[in-house]
Structure 1
Amino acid sequence: MIQSLVKAANVLEALKDANRELTIAEISEILNIPPSTCHRILSTLINVGYVTKNKRTPLYTLGPALISLGMKASSNIDPGEVEKEVLKKLSDKTMEDAFLIIKSGDKGLVLAKSEGKHSLKIVENFGLEIELHKGAIRKTVLAFQPKEYIDYYLDRDLESYLSESVDREKLRKELEQIREDKISISDSEYIRDAIGIGAPVFNHKSELVGAIGVVVPKERVDEKIKKDYIDAVKSCSIEFSKKLGYSFK
């Protein structure tokens, strides 16, 4: 591994994550490298157009040469391969079936699935369409729709959950919480004795691609296992989004 290249990549990452102009001192502190080293790296990156220095202040930001690189990298991404890889990782981590669900009209559609090793499982088949407010993964898709669409959706005649009718205001607050937490959990909303956990996936344009997650028999879930599943779904959704070029701020 060439350490100078690693340090240069880390400088670019620091500028990207900060989402603002930074001084040499700030970059040095973030990366724990000497200011002199930081200055040499920045000078090189400026020469190739990957970093720009503000002409009026000692501030640095990402340069225009990175735009074409990013566009080229995005064009080489195969979402299908990323999808298979991440869903397989999620099913391996949890040993449960992992799903990718997208919006299809006013319903959520199972687009992809990776089978886990547990023999007792909840059946969700390819092409299965269910109302968006039912189940954690579909509800995640609904939560990240535009406000106008959510208003329209909540004004519809909504199918009841298994054990109760839909409280629209409660659902609206739940969708707001899902947007804030980027995680959703459901309990027996359309499959009896099933726990669902879902999280959103975004692309390089910060657009919602869909949601991934697991649907698990309730008898197999205690609080520790639920936490482990939540962590697994969250981490895989973040990995999926990053691989599609989404930038977390």
Structure 2
Amino acid sequence: MQSEGVQTVERALAILNCFTNEDDIWGVTELSKKLELSKSVIHRILVTLHRNGFVEKDVYTEKYRLGMKVIELGKVATNQLGLRKIALPIMQEMGKLTGESVLLTKKQGKMGLGIEIVEGPYSIAIRAAFGIGLPLHCGASKKVLLAFQTQEFIDTYLQNENLIRVSDKGRIDANVLKEELIRIRQEGVAVTAGDVDFGAYGVAAPIYDDNGNVFASISVSGRSFGFLEERAEQISLLVKKAAREISVKLGYPHHGVKGEEFDK
């Protein structure tokens, strides 16, 4: 017979295992039905998980998603995988060339998670994005992930998600965002300013896996006041080149990335 402590741990693990790429947000009632446990038991465990950083509570829906502690543990696992090891030296070179901060972001469900960072003089601008999951409509590193998903995924996302800007909590018009995503896909790069942090810009390009799917992004971020239009163009080229190099090393089968060919 299991002790009460072991049973609680197993129930907590069962709750955490409910979170997947497809079902990344859960409410107390939904978890109660799925796991056939009372709402009071589910709520009590979620409170403990939340207090310890394993889940976060959405302030708008009062539902839960995976939290910072899980991301930290995931980062330990990610360190052993190919993406980070391949990307890190390229990111370090990008940091030297631009003098800015470089972020590696991975798609997880309807969110993007910052899994590696090379800090530059303006690293404060993206510190909040590292190790924290943000919705795919928030900032260049996430928008570029959203732009390269299937049309069905994009349409469902725009229709069902709470399109709120992080920096000022303002509502984003779905049609305006849809046009922006089309432009990002055409140009192969996302450029944003003030989406997540006031006074900060971001430039991001998509990273492809060996099946030709966009699952991650590399981005450069800094302070908007030092970001001239001509520099945006220069950094965009560098970011796309870095994304291309990472994609190829991961086994991406094509001869180029969106908006750029290898022999250019």
Q: TM-score range by the shorter chain?
A: 0.5 to 0.7
Asked if residue 248 in structure 1 is aligned to residue 252 in structure 2, the reply is no
SS in 2 for 1:157: coil
Per mean C-alpha deviation after superposition, the further-off stretch among 156-165 and 93-102 is 156-165
Shift of 1:176: 1.4
Shift of 1:110: 0.3
SS in 2 for 1:124: helix
What's 2:185 paired with? 179
What's 2:212 paired with? 206
Shift of 1:81: 1.9
Per mean C-alpha deviation after superposition, the further-off stretch among 195-204 and 102-111 is 102-111
SS in 1 for 2:87: helix
Higher RCO (C-alpha 8 Å, min separation 6) = 1
After superposition, the CA RMSD in angstroms is 1.9
What's 2:152 paired with? 148
Normalised by the length of structure 1, the TM-score is: 0.64
- 1:91 pairs, out of 83, 92, 95, with 95
Q: Distance in 2 between matches of 1:136 and 1:183?
A: 8
What's 1:216 paired with? 222
What's 1:82 paired with? 86
Counterpart of 1:215, as a letter, is: S
Counterpart of 1:157, as a letter, is: N
SS in 2 for 1:101: strand
User: Runs in 1 of length 4+ with deviation above 6 angstroms?
Assistant: none
Shift of 1:120: 6.2
- 1:133 pairs, out of 137, 154, 162, with 137
Contact 1:98 1:213 in 2 (8 A): yes
What's 2:118 paired with? 114
Q: Distance in 1 between matches of 2:202 and 2:152?
A: 26
Contact 1:96 1:121 in 2 (8 A): no
Shift of 1:204: 2.0
Shift of 1:175: 0.8
Quickly say closer, same or farther: Cα 1:206–1:188, change in 2 above 3 A: same
Shift of 1:119: 5.4
Contact 1:102 1:209 in 2 (8 A): yes
Q: Distance in 1 between matches of 2:224 and 2:193?
A: 8
Shift of 1:196: 0.8
SS in 2 for 1:100: strand
Q: Share of identical aligned residues, percent?
A: 27
What's 2:17 paired with? none
SS in 1 for 2:128: coil
Could you tell me which runs of 5 or more consecutive residues in structure 2 were left unpaired when the two chains were aligned. Answer: 1-80, 257-264
Shift of 1:114: 1.4
Q: How many residues align?
A: 172
Contact 2:114 2:132 in 1 (8 A): yes
Asked if residue 170 in structure 1 is aligned to residue 176 in structure 2, the reply is yes
Q: Deviations over 1:94-150 (max 9, x none)?
A: 11110111122322110111122x256412353211121011111001111122211
Shift of 1:237: 0.9
Counterpart of 1:159, as a letter, is: I
Contact 1:97 1:114 in 2 (8 A): yes
Could you tell me which runs of 5 or more consecutive residues in structure 1 were left unpaired when the two chains were aligned. Answer: 1-76
Contact 2:122 2:223 in 1 (8 A): no
Q: Distance in 1 between matches of 2:237 and 2:249?
A: 18
Q: Distance in 1 between matches of 2:85 and 2:192?
A: 28
Query: Which structure has the larger Rg?
Result: 1
